[in-house]
Structure 1
Amino acid sequence: MGDSKLEVIKMNHNDIQQTLQDALNNEEEMMRTYLIAAERVHESEELKLRLREFAEGNAKRSRQLMDELKRFTD
Structure 2
Amino acid sequence: MAGDNEHTVPLHTDELLRVLERTLEIENELLRTYVIASERIQDNEELRVRLQNFAEGNAKRTRQLIDEINHIKGQL
- TM normalised by structure 2 equals 0.85
The 3-state SS of whatever aligns with 2:32 is helix
One-letter code aligned to 1:43: D
Give unpaired runs (5+ residues) of structure 1.
1-5
Sequence identity (%): 42
Deviations 1:43-70 (A, max 9, x none): 1111111000000000000000000000
Other-structure match for 2:25 = 25
Larger radius of gyration: 1
Give unpaired runs (5+ residues) of structure 2.
1-5
Separation in structure 2 between the aligned mates of residue 9 and residue 61 of structure 1, nearest angstrom: 26
Paired residues in the alignment total 69
One-letter code aligned to 1:31: L
One-letter code aligned to 1:65: L
Separation in structure 2 between the aligned mates of residue 47 and residue 38 of structure 1, nearest angstrom: 8
One-letter code aligned to 1:14: D
